[in-house]
Structure 1
Amino acid sequence: MLTSSLYPVTWQGDRAVLIDQTRIPQEYRTVEITNSESMADAIKTMIVRGAPAIGVAAAYGMYLGSQEIITSDRTTFLQQLEEIAQKLRQTRPTAVNLFWAIERQLQTAHHTPGDLTALKTALLETAQTIQREDLATCQAIGDHGLSILPETPEKLTLLTHCNAGALATAGYGTALGVIRSAWRANRLQRVFADETRPRLQGAKLTAWECVQDNIPVTVISDNMAAHCMKQGLIDAVVVGADRITTNGDAANKIGTYSLALVSKAHNVPFFVAAPLSTVDFKLATGEEIPIEERDAQEIYQIGDSRICPEGADYYNPAFDVTPAHLITAIITEKGAVKPEELKQFKV
């Protein structure tokens, strides 16, 4: 039984409804998306974020785009659907689930027999299937993760970075899914959540999710992790991923790599929780992952307040890559494996 009823993307009649994650925790608000352009904008501006949730949103964006195409010719339809796919691809270059969901929708379009009405119906059904599958996948990840968490005399304290919870998926979460499963099994004492500069997804989103589910949570700044580990406050680290390569290197929110290094130095297990759809078997190593660089304003401004001087330069990569040798295990819906064992899942 799921312990979270948060669903960042839902389908209601003829539109997708997104939780506006840029408003949390100050305000819970939803946004209705009725066309592909609005969906692309919602992904780019991070109204919806987190690799699996982006994939679900993009799948619905493809269906909404199909409704905008006015033609009775199948070839013309497929050409225009590809143009919509390309606009969606350009929103977030690092999250592989985006590309995976778009490609799955294109395959649906190319292989569905019948007229264009049947094809569009199939696109909607595929988007809904992707959503259902991800929800089941997250609970499986949570349960597999629970099985490999350290055995300790007391209940566990787990540290996570950014937000890989219900808000980042179809529901339940990947890294936070493991945490939810531990809470449900009465094995969790407390979650430590890195604030995750510059957008503060840990402080805003992960902490908010934990509060909603009555899971004890302590927010720390990103530079406190080493101190907390030295004090013996952290039993294990569980993070998500936006793209994992064949060798087990994992791209995740900026700051994850340094957290992995700190974990290694303190002999704290470091787990990456992600669905197999996040594994990009076309890439051999993390060196090949494109890293999105976002607007410098995210660094020099918080809300309406500028916190840095004008005239300074800024560098704002959204992700970094954690090498496989720093990862204890990768937790997938088919089980937890060592990074070098990921290859067994390649089809």
Structure 2
Amino acid sequence: MSLQSIKYADFKLEILDQLLLPVQSKFISVKGVEDGWKVINKMQVRGAPAIAIVGCLSLAVEIYPEKFDSKKSLRQEIEGKLNYLVSARPTAVNMKIAADELIALANELTKNEQCTVEDMKSRFLAATEAMLEKDIDDNKAIGSNGAAAILKKYSKETSVRVLTHCNTGSLATAGYGTALGVVRKLHELKKLEHVYCTETRPYNQGARLTAFELVHDKLPATLVLDSMVAALLRAKNIGAVVVGADRVAANGDTANKIGTYQIAVVAKHHDVPFYVAAPLTSIDFQIPSGDHIIIEERPDREMTHVGEHRIAAPGINCWNPAFDVTPAALITGIITEVGVYSPTKLKEEIQGLQNV
């Protein structure tokens, strides 16, 4: 059974504080939108799908006990709070897409004369709660689609070695994971020879979180430093690289954790397939290319300190982007819950499915 990072029942929300892992497993209560914004911004919860789920559920928890005298006041509350939550970490598009969809629902219900204030509130709360179960179902579909794509060029007897970057498992989603969901599915099929995970500096999500999940699930795994990837691909016969995504542009350019771009470049040099695993909610067709993706910059302290211990020379300037953009030309395929797509055909084929 995979780890659980979000606990939600009866309008009570708790999240696993990922800043304390792997030393301590502690759940903290999220009692409303302000708590939701803080745990997202401080990276106590992280991963694009989990950010959206926790953000929206924090609003559900806050709204549930409240009484509204009109649908207009409820709609204004929903719109204002959701837009505030989007500002917590702007690069990950899932929160923005979820906010837009829920605001559209609120607008639709406001105009529906047959819908009372209580009906509107009930339907809004149900929509936020449905996100948890849907995310797990989508992740399992991503896992199956990704495993099939990777194994396509191998014989039935062959197992593969895979490299992944950052954390894309149960700790970054409602459960199972995106890129790590692909790894889990390979393991379930008895086709995973080994998985390598990077440390993912400066926040060490790979060393702290992915490694924690891999040990928990008893997968054959090895941790490597970010600077070892080129040597790893040269020496260890890696069959595929699988990473997640915080935002995919219409042309297939993909923003993901800093360090992803250089792995894609090295994978291309070594002729190793490079896959991006992401739900449809991470694809932003409003942005034509990666050049238009806002890249969040994090505090210097994340680079200069480990805990309370300074590791960098005092006075040195720092540049600390949390993400980079991998050009579509370096991506073999984008793995979604509805299929695996070439970046060049992503917009055409996904929008074709949505119009059916």
TM-score range, shorter chain: over 0.9
CA drift at 1:69? 5.7
Q: Distance in 1 between matches of 2:198 and 2:2?
A: 23
Q: Distance in 1 between matches of 2:282 and 2:288?
A: 14
Q: Distance in 1 between matches of 2:78 and 2:134?
A: 24
Q: Match for 1:345 among 341, 350, 354?
A: 350
Structure 1 residues 24 and 283 mapped into 2: Cα distance closer, same or farther (>3 Å)?
same
Alpha carbons 1:156, 1:189 under 8 Å: kept: yes
Alpha carbons 1:58, 1:102 under 8 Å: kept: no
Q: How does 1:82-161 map to 2 (within 5 A)?
A: 82-112=79-109, 113=112, 114-150=115-151, 151=154, 154-161=158-165
Alpha carbons 1:65, 1:81 under 8 Å: kept: no
Cα distance per residue 1:20-79 (max 9 Å; x no partner): 111111011111111111011111111111001111112212323434765402222222
Q: Distance in 2 between matches of 1:337 and 1:277?
A: 15
Q: How does 1:274-289 map to 2 (within 5 A)?
A: 274-289=278-293
Q: Match for 1:264 among 262, 268, 286?
A: 268
Q: Does 1:304 align with 2:308?
A: yes
Deviates more, 1:193-202 or 1:228-237: 228-237
Deviates more, 1:42-51 or 1:60-69: 60-69
Residue identity over aligned pairs, in percent, reads 40
Deviates more, 1:89-98 or 1:125-134: 125-134
Alpha carbons 1:35, 1:68 under 8 Å: kept: no
Partner residue, 1:197: 201
Partner residue, 2:192: 188
Q: Distance in 1 between matches of 2:267 and 2:77?
A: 48
Alpha carbons 1:14, 1:34 under 8 Å: kept: no
Q: Distance in 2 between matches of 1:337 and 1:69?
A: 44
Code of the aligned partner of 2:222: T
Q: Distance in 2 between matches of 1:101 and 1:68?
A: 22
SS at match of 1:311: coil
SS at match of 1:314: coil
Partner residue, 2:8: 11
Cα distance per residue 1:186-219 (max 9 Å; x no partner): 0001110000000000011001001111001111
Q: How does 1:46-61 map to 2 (within 5 A)?
A: 46-61=43-58
Q: Does 1:209 align with 2:181?
A: no
Deviates more, 1:161-170 or 1:110-119: 110-119
SS at match of 2:166: coil
Unaligned runs of 5+ in 2: none
TM-score, structure 2 length as denominator? 0.93
Alpha carbons 2:32, 2:59 under 8 Å: kept: no
Alpha carbons 1:192, 1:218 under 8 Å: kept: yes
Cα distance per residue 1:271-302 (max 9 Å; x no partner): 00001110001011000000000111100011
Alpha carbons 2:31, 2:62 under 8 Å: kept: no
Partner residue, 1:33: 30
Unaligned runs of 5+ in 1: none
Partner residue, 1:336: 340
Cα distance per residue 1:94-119 (max 9 Å; x no partner): 00001111122222322235333222
SS at match of 2:171: helix
TM-score, structure 1 length as denominator? 0.95
Structure 1 residues 192 and 172 mapped into 2: Cα distance closer, same or farther (>3 Å)?
same
Partner residue, 1:62: 59
Q: Distance in 2 between matches of 1:100 and 1:9?
A: 20
Task: Tell me how many residue pairs correspond in the alignment.
Answer: 344
